[in-house]
Chains A and B, each alone.
Chain A
Amino acid sequence: MSLAMRPSRQTDYSLFPSDCPIVIDNGAFNCRVGWAGETDPRFTFRNVIQKPKHKATGESVSIIGDLDPGLMKYFDYTRAPLRSPFDSNVVYQFETMEYILDYAFERIGVEGPKVDHPILITECVCNPVHSRSKMAELLFETYGIPSVAYGVDAAFSYKHNQKLGICDNDGLVVCSGFTTSHVIPILHGEPVFEASCRTNIGGYHVTDYMKQLLSLQYPYHVSSFAWEKVEHLKMEHCYIALDYASESQLFQKGAKETDEKVRYWQLPYRPPPVEEEPSEEELARKAAIKEKQGQRLREMAAAKRSSRITEFENELQGLEFLLQQLENVEDHEIPFFLSETGYVSKQEIESAVARVTQSLRKAKGEPVEVEEKTESPSSEKYPLINIPDHMLTPEQLKQKKRQIFIKTTSEGKLRAKQKKQEEELERERQNQQDEEKRLENPELYLEQLRAKQRELAQRVEQRKKLKTNGTRGNGTPVLSGNVGRGERLNAAQKERMRLLTTAAFDRGKGEDTFGIKDEDWQLYKLMSRDNDDNDEGPNEDEAELARVTAKLQEIDPTFVTLVEPSPPATGNGSETPHFRPLTAEDYRITLGIERFRCPEILFQPHIVGIDQAGLDEMVGISMRRLKPELLSHGENLCNSVLLTGGNCLFPGINERILTGIQKIRPFGSSIRVCRASDPLLDAWHGASMIAASPSFSEQVFSRQDYMEKGEEWLRKYQIRYTI
């Protein structure tokens, strides 16, 4: 509701004499307030209250009626739901009701210490006495009103339309409101409540049903289906089908007529930015930049290399100079001579020279001579290994350990190298054999190869399937990951579940011996999710498959590799939801059958699980409840059926109710169905008319009555609707 529709405080309160009643149509959806005798209510607001916190000050405030979206940013609405004083169509929360009445009286501009006007307030049919007396208590005690009168909205609406000449003195009123729908017979201008009939279905249910359907159908847009928005959609697009079955069949067949009946609601949609194909220039520019960068890197590398080469050369020169000098030095003076240089012996210097020369060569890009060091016998290289421990000092022991380590690793390396060579030889030999076979009989060979490839591929595929999921019992596709409804586990999964459960429940039973034996820890390995793929088997197969496939590709031009075996038709497709950019289409809400499917619940409440008769059937029920002696003059109530209440705004409701009544009435009887002049406001209009009548003052329940007569009187209280 926009800002403009919020009622402003009325300023002409003092102009009304104190015997002029205030008329309040207290509906479950809207509350309408105005002065008796006026043609329209002063203001209408939604009958709800919210108590959000003001964000800046932190104080909680009371806001009645609809929200103003523009002002929502100032308030904190968490823990502040919309509260209505109504449970179904009965007022039950009088604290909330007090806020509503506060607002009503404040807006109408009440001045002075009390509300000094009689009140006419509407209530539901057969309002429980508890609710009625609480309302009287509230009005008398808190607001100090002189008197109150209660009336039923549907009857007021009928009276107003009777005055307008739309309906007769005898008739039926069908009133379908926000939470309930009523049918009340009117006889000699007075409602007959003992023959009335109520079904607990109304506009709220229609909106709610629509909201549920839409949010189930468009899970991506749930946030777009706020209650108020759906209410708006309902009012704008819904209609009532004359015959639900035939209307829905049109849609089921996809008939042409439906095209113009379908409505679309386009949600705001912004297409994702389209990536433009880069132009020639752009590409050239990028290539140039890349080239430039490459050039720079190459230059940098070259510079680095040259600097390294000079570094090595210098080092080499220094070392050679040192060696030359050493020639001239006596043997026993060597240590003294070398003490400054950091080297210990001549051999060390020589090895350093060798090392540097090698690095220099490497840096210059010359081939490094692979010095297969003459395999010195291990006893020479590792002198300490064969000496027993007790003969060594701790220092030597340490060295011995290191030597053992080095020896084993180098031996391991050697062995690996040998194995590799052998494998290569083996492969070559196999290739040769294959080649021979191929030359012998190319056709046969090819055939064999193909068969082998197929078999291998199958085996690998099988294994993969087993690994990813177990048996697909009923072919129901399941979203990947967890096991879906009714899905069977395969043997490995079952075993895993069993282990997990036993592990979970065994603890705490008696003494805990877990972990004493080493085998216990195997449990965790078994439990882990991926234990069921034993590594060697599939790998061998896969390697073989790759080899055979490569060979086939090489020699057979017609061979096509089935790299991705087509997924089985049982619907594996759902496992990988293929990504598709959302389009405007996805942001379009289609209202097809929903347009009449949602209001249909008024006629078939069982659709939403309410086991009561629908609107058309209720007319028949009411007629049957009417005692025949009351209809002494042969009044034909069906000759004046008035539709009122918000739901009667749906197009097509007249015709539908007419056909409904035709079904239950004798053939050829005259039936007239008419809609109220204003289904929403006529209840207030009628109430205003009656409150303005001179006899109204005799109808009221005064303050004195309230003090003296008490509840029992209130139970019997009923306003007279005839003026």
Chain B
Amino acid sequence: MEPEVLDADILLPPVLPFKRVQMSDKYPKGANRGRQWKHLKHILQAENYQNYPPDEPNYVNIEAPPSIYPAKKFCDITGFETHYTDPKTKLRYVNTDVFKRIRYLPNDYVQRYLSIRNAAVVLK
């Protein structure tokens, strides 16, 4: 190791005296451990919230509902409020200049703009 790296003191020592089980014993190297964790989605499924009274707060039911206000439409390029949608690319645009621009955009850019607001075509 270079002296600079050692001086910076950024590396976590592999063995720590205060631990009862060392990292290498718990997660032995080379052993096929598979996935030992669950995504949040699966954690929440396993919580079985439906078995508990509905007025008891839990991670799922404290979530905010959709807004009661109608969603305003904004130009995908400039961010200004607008009502126009290009029927071809499905991008929203505010004026003719922006319209020209979106017609020049390559397809992957169009899809990236759409994916920002979760409206891109997802191929499965």
The chain A residues found within 8 Å of chain B, CB to CB, are 3, 6, 8-9, 54, 56-57, 61-65, 68, 70-71, 74, 87-88, 90, 92-95, 98-99, 102-103, 105-106, 110-115, 124-131, 141-144, 193-194, 196-200, 209, 212-213, 216, 245, 248-249, 251-252, 476-477, 479, 485-486, 574, 593-594, 597, 604-614, 617-618, 621
- The contact of B47 among A114, A130, A613, by CB within 8 Å, is A130
Q: Do the beta carbons of B37 and A614 come within 8 Å of each other?
A: no
B18, A114: Cβ atoms under 8 Å?
yes
Q: Measured between alpha carbons, how far is A564 from B55 in the docked complex, in Å?
A: 78
CA distance A128 to B1 in the complex (A): 42
Asked if B84 CB lies within 8 Å of chain A CBs, one says no
Contact flag A198-B37 (CB < 8 Å), given A90-B43, A131-B43, A609-B118:
no
- B18/A74 in contact, CB under 8 A: no
Chain B residues, Cβ within 8 Å of A106: 12-13, 16
Residue from the list A604, A608, A612 in contact with B72, Cβ < 8 A = A604
Taking the nearest CB of chain B, how far is it from the CB of A662, in angstroms?
15
Q: Which of A92, A606, A607, A613 is close to B43, meaning CB atoms less than 8 Å apart?
A: A92
Q: Does B31 touch A at the CB level, under 8 Å? A: no
Please report the C-alpha to C-alpha distance between residue A213 and residue B44 in the assembled complex, in whole angstroms: 33
Could you say which residues of chain B place their CB within 8 Å of the CB of A71? 4-5, 8, 10
Q: Which 8 pairs, one residue from A and one from B, show the smallest C-beta to C-beta distance?
A: A609-B118, A87-B40, A62-B12, A194-B57, A597-B79, A193-B57, A199-B64, A606-B71
Residue of A nearest to B72 (CB): A604
Contacts of B72 in A (CB 8 A): 245, 604
Chain A residue with the shortest CB-CB distance to B107? A485
B76 nearest CB across to chain A (Å): 9
Among B12, B40, B43, B74, which residue has its beta carbon within 8 angstroms of that of A61?
A: B12
- What residues of chain B lie closer than 8 Å to A245, measured between beta carbons? 72, 81
Given contacts A62-B11, A87-B39, A92-B38, contact A198 B63 (CB under 8 A): yes
CA distance A213 to B66 in the complex (A): 25
A419 to B44 CA separation, bound complex (whole angstroms): 92
Contacting pair A142 B21 (CB below 8 A): yes
A597: B residues at CB distance < 8 A: 79
- 17 additional A-B residue pairs with CB within 8 Å, beyond A63-B12, A102-B16: A6-B10, A8-B9, A71-B10, A90-B40, A94-B37, A103-B12, A112-B18, A125-B62, A142-B19, A193-B57, A199-B64, A216-B113, A252-B78, A609-B117, A617-B69, A621-B64, A621-B65
* Interfacial chain A residues near B59, Cβ < 8 Å: 90, 124-128
A49 and chain B: residue at smallest CB distance = B12
Residues of B near A3 (CB, < 8 A) are 8
Contact B9 A113 (CB under 8 A): no
**Interface of chain A: mostly helix, strand, loop or mixed:** mixed
Tell me the minimal C-beta distance from A597 to chain B in angstroms.
Answer: 4
Residue on B nearest A6 in the bound complex, by CB: B10
* A199 CB contacts on chain B under 8 angstroms: 63-64
Give B117's nearest chain A residue, CB to CB: A609
Q: Are A130 and B119 in contact (CB under 8 A)?
A: no
Identify B20's interface contact among A142, A212, A621, CB under 8 A: A142
Interface residues on B, range: 35 or more
Complex Cα gap A212–B111 (Å): 12
Cross-chain contact A92 with B39 (CB below 8 angstroms): yes
Q: Which residues of B contact A605 (CB under 8 A)?
A: 67
- Give the one of B23, B46, B94 with max A CB within 10 A: B23
Cα of A618 to Cα of B26 in the assembled complex, Å: 43
Q: Which of A87, A212, A597, A606 has the most CB of B within 10 A?
A: A606
Q: A251-B80, A597-B79, A613-B67 are in contact. Are A63 and B2 (CB under 8 A)?
A: no
Interface residues of B in 19-48 (CB under 8 A from A): 19-21, 23, 26-27, 36-40, 43-44, 46-47
20 A-B contacts (beta carbon < 8 Å): A3-B8, A90-B59, A95-B27, A98-B26, A106-B12, A111-B18, A115-B18, A126-B57, A126-B59, A194-B55, A194-B57, A194-B62, A196-B62, A245-B72, A245-B81, A249-B81, A605-B67, A608-B117, A612-B63, A617-B68
Q: Are B9 and A9 in contact (CB under 8 A)?
A: yes
Question: Across the two chains, which residue of chain A brings its CB closest to B11?
Answer: A61
Chain B residue contacts of A594, Cβ below 8 A: 79
Q: A113-B18, A141-B21, A216-B112 are in contact. Are A574 and B66 (CB under 8 A)?
A: no
- In the complex, what's the smallest C-beta–C-beta distance from A155 to chain B, in angstroms? 13
Let me know if A56 and B2 touch, CB within 8 A. yes
Q: Is the CB of B11 within 8 A of A63?
A: yes
* Cα-based distance from A369 to B19 in the complex (angstroms): 109
Cβ–Cβ < 8 Å partners of B40 in chain A: 87-88, 90, 92
B18:A607 contact, CB within 8 angstroms: no
Complex CA gap A607/B76 in Å reads 9
Alpha-carbon distance between A93 and B40 when the two chains are bound, in angstroms? 10
B57 touches A196 (CB 8 A): yes
B103 interfacial by beta-carbon distance below 8 Å: yes
Q: A209-B116, A248-B81 are in contact. Are A612 and B67 (CB under 8 A)?
A: yes
Interchain CB contact (< 8 A) of A611 among B5, B66, B113: B66
Give chain B nearest CB distance to A164 CB in angstroms: 27
CB-contact partner of A608 in B26, B88, B103, B116, under 8 A: B116
Give the CA-CA distance A294 to B40 in the complex, in Å: 82
Is B104 within 8 A of A608, CB to CB? no
The residues of B that contact A113 with a CB separation of less than 8 Å are 17-18, 20
In the bound complex, what is the Cα–Cα distance between A252 and B93 (angstroms)?
13
Give A216 to B37 CA distance when docked, in angstroms: 35
B116 contacts A612, C-beta separation under 8 Å: no
Contacts A92-B40, A128-B44, A574-B104 given; indicate if A609 touches B9 (C-beta within 8 A): no
Instruction: Give the CA-CA distance A249 to B72 in the complex, in Å.
Output: 14
Q: Is the CB of A194 within 8 A of B56?
A: yes
A103 to B18, CA, bound (A): 12
Residues of chain B within 8 A (CB-CB) of A57 are: 1
Give bound CA distance, A476 to B2, whole Å: 58
Per the bound structure, the CA–CA distance linking A70 and B106 in Å amounts to 38
Output the nearest chain A residue to B89 by Cβ-Cβ distance.
Answer: A485
CB distance from A519 to the nearest CB of B (A): 40
B83-124 vs A, CB cutoff 8 Å, 1 = contact: the mask equals: 000001000001000000001101101001100111100000
CB pair B46–A95 under 8 Å, yes or no, is no
CA of A115 to CA of B17, assembled, Å: 10
Cα distance, A131 to B40, chains bound together (Å): 9
CA of A111 to CA of B19 in the docked complex: distance in angstroms? 10
